[in-house]
Amino acid sequence: MRHVIIGSGVAGIAAIESIRSVERGAEIIMLGDDPHGFYSRPGLAYYLTGELSDQALYPKTREDYKKLGFTYRKARVTKILPDETSLQLDDNSLLTYDRLLLATGAFATPLAVSGATLQGVVKLDHLSDARNILKLAKRGRTAVVVGGGITALELAEGLLARGMDVHYLLRGNRYWSNVLDEQESRIIEARLQVEGITLHFHSELQEIIGRSGRVNSIRLKDGKMLKCDLLAYAIGIQPRVELAREASLHVDRGILVNEFMQTDDPNIYAAGDVAQVFDPISGRSILDSLWGAAREQGCAAGTNMAGRSTPYVKSIPFNVTRLAGLTTTIIGAVGHGRDEDLVGIARGDSETWRELPNAVIAQSGFDVNRVRILVGEKKLIGAVVMGDQTLSIPLQRIITQQVDISPMRDRLLAHDAKLSDVIVDFWTKLKS
Amino acid sequence: MAFLNVFKRSARKRTTLAEGHVVPDTARCVQCGICTYNCPIEIDVRAYVWRSEAINRSECLTCGECVARCPRGVLRFERTDLFKAGAS
């Protein structure tokens, strides 16, 4: 049996581990066109701020790969030929497969403004992008960041840490408006300003103006000009679905898979950022761009590819991240609508987070420590925990395990309820 | 008195070493490697997290560097209860 995996991210590695745990003798080939292979893409944020070296981003050693016993080929797949169960590679050779996994990830949605191809216009997709940003930050003085979600802040804070004057443009009147509530947005914005980032609300990029092929300034829609040496953007991501679409696989926003991570071709599977996975709670197929979910999906796909039929139940999406230096946990459905700064979802994001929940909101906290929960009839539907993370793990468990909260529901919704006391008390009793 | 405090601190440190270890919550981890990068004795903490294992290396100082540095709250101290009264 020959398993071929396209993509060298966490979904692909997780798939190899689980194939190997089931089928010791199977042939496994990984195809990737990222020159850096498998590394922690979320870790690029900490590489930008200088908290990590680029060498520290690689989780696996040569020995680890040897133990897994697979062949890595640096190659780009140009076509899937499902009827012949084979792939056409960029050197025009053909590679046959018995089972194929598409773990091709997603790419940054390109900027559609004039000047977007100038030198100094950057994104944060790969390690090579991060290295390029650091190189440009060394010789530049002023940077402009456009976009939303986690990556836009990672770019702004990374560039600030590298000594640049950073201007962050927001189209609307607040940050990440379809996931955070107004108070949460304001907490983040205030911290960004204290750090030294200049925020520009109601500001939309019209044009990037260059000199000698390099970024020199930008013009906003209202006509204002801003001189800068670098323009960083993070306006969303797009799953890499081209191969699947050309092979006539069922594609919506991502590649649609069933509960076995299988596409409509039984020999072809998909996992990670590229897969659009059925969500039993909403009854719809959902896109996530979460590292943990990608690993889970890769693992499930691998098990099924190896012949051990195991349905994958999509878990409630959650992420822990740092926004303006503030640890923030986001679980389940917490927001709604669309954010003018983003096209679709961003990295570290989930479509589920902005599904308007049928729930009552309870919140408490002040200053930087804040908790907001969405209380359903019998379950908690979502939560945002900012700053103090004491409630992060209890809420993660209560929400993802869909614990019946009836014993504490009234206390949660009481006027001036101290949410942390109520939740900790409930959690302590639940554990004992 | 200050002299006695040194002994107290040392005793507390030994208690931590004997009774606690660092455990991960793998679901929160993105394998960025800040834990491994900051470990003073170069334990590959990240590899333990990937496998969802406690950091059970006898060399671990339980210094807390990995716990404090992790930006996602993946790591925490947990009592091992090995020496708890009644434990065999």
Q: Is residue A226 part of a domain?
A: yes
Residues A172 and A256 in one domain: no
pLDDT tops 70 at residue B3: no
What is the rounded distance in angstroms from the CA atom of residue A188 to the CA atom of residue A87?
47
Closest-CA distance, A371 to chain B, in angstroms, reads: 16
Q: Is A332 part of the contact surface with chain B (CB cutoff 8 Å)? A: no
Closest-CA distance, B17 to chain A, in angstroms, reads: 23
Domains of chain B (ranges; CATH) run: 21-88 (3.30.70.20)
Q: What is the pLDDT of residue A336?
A: 85
Domain boundary (A305, A330, A348) is at A305
Residues A116 and A76 in one domain: no
Q: What is the pLDDT of residue A280?
A: 83
pLDDT tops 60 at residue B48: yes
Report CB contact under 8 Å: B32, A389: no
Report CB contact under 8 Å: A327, B71: yes
Question: pLDDT (tens digit, 9 = 90+) per residue, B6-23?
Answer: 556 555 555 555 678 899
Confidence of residue B88 (pLDDT cuts 50, 70, 90): very low
Report CB contact under 8 Å: B71, A392: no
Residues A261 and A195 in one domain: no
Instruction: Compare B56 and B2 and report the one with higher pLDDT.
Output: B56
Report CB contact under 8 Å: A52, B32: yes
Residues A426 and A376 in one domain: yes
B-facing residues of A in 304-323 (CB < 8 A) are: 318, 320-322
Domain boundary (A234, A253, A287) is at A234
Domain boundary (A176, A205, A234) is at A234
The three-class DSSP label of residue A151 is helix
Q: What is the pLDDT of residue B13?
A: 57
Q: What is the pLDDT of residue A431?
A: 83
Residues A89 and A192 in one domain: no
Q: What is the pLDDT of residue A357?
A: 66
Which residues, 6 or more positions from A253, have their beta carbon under 8 angstroms from its beta carbon?
A: A239, A276, A287, A344
Extract the tokens encoding B12.
């507390």
What is the rounded distance in angstroms from the CA atom of residue B15 to the CA atom of residue A95?
58
Residues A376 and A299 in one domain: no
Residues A101 and A142 in one domain: no
Residues A373-400, buried b or exposed e (16+ Cβ, 10 A)?
A: bbbbeebbbbbbbbbebebbbbbbebbb
What is the rounded distance in angstroms from the CA atom of residue B72 to the CA atom of residue B68?
10
Residues A23 and A81 in one domain: yes
Q: Is residue A332 part of a domain?
A: no
Give the torsion sign (CA, A400, A405, A409, A411): negative
Q: Is residue A337 part of a domain?
A: no
Report CB contact under 8 Å: A57, B33: yes
Q: Is residue A50 part of a domain?
A: yes
Residues A69 and A96 in one domain: yes
Q: Is A43 part of the contact surface with chain B (CB cutoff 8 Å)? A: yes
Q: What is the pLDDT of residue B18?
A: 61
Task: Read off the pTM.
Answer: 0.92
pLDDT tops 70 at residue B84: no
How many residue pairs bridge chain A and chain B with CB atoms within 8 Å of each other? 58
**DSSP H or E stretch at residue B2:** helix B2-19
Question: What is the domain range of residue A146?
Answer: 110-234
Q: Is residue A342 part of a domain?
A: no
Q: Is residue A312 part of a domain?
A: no
Report CB contact under 8 Å: A43, B29: no
Extract the tokens encoding A48.
């930008």
Q: One digit per residue, pLDDT tens: chain A, 432 residues?
A: 999 999 999 999 999 999 999 999 999 999 999 889 999 999 999 999 999 999 999 999 999 999 999 999 999 999 999 999 999 999 999 999 999 999 999 999 999 999 999 999 999 999 999 999 999 999 989 999 999 999 999 999 999 999 999 999 999 999 999 999 999 999 999 999 999 999 999 999 999 999 999 999 999 999 999 999 999 999 999 999 999 999 999 999 999 999 999 999 999 999 999 999 998 888 899 999 999 999 999 999 999 999 999 999 988 999 999 999 999 999 998 988 888 888 888 898 888 888 766 778 888 876 778 999 999 999 999 999 999 888 999 999 999 999 999 999 999 999 888 898 999 999 999 888
DSSP sequence for B28-39: G-----HHHHH-
Nearest residue in A to B28, CA atom = A320
Residues A184 and A210 in one domain: yes
Closest-CA distance, A183 to chain B, in angstroms, reads: 22
Number of domains in chain A: 3
A-facing residues of B in 29-58 (CB < 8 A) are: 29-34, 36-37, 46-47, 50
Q: Is residue A41 part of a domain?
A: yes
* CATH number of the domain bearing residue A180: 3.50.50.60
* CATH number of the domain bearing residue A386: 3.30.390
pLDDT tops 60 at residue B72: yes
The alpha-carbon radius of gyration of chain B (Å, integer) is 14
For residue A333, give the nearest of A363, A355, A313, A348 by alpha carbon: A355
ipTM of the complex in this document = 0.91
Residues A44 and A62 in one domain: yes
Instruction: Compare B4 and A225 and report the one with higher pLDDT.
Output: A225
Confidence of residue B87 (pLDDT cuts 50, 70, 90): very low
Residues A135 and A282 in one domain: no
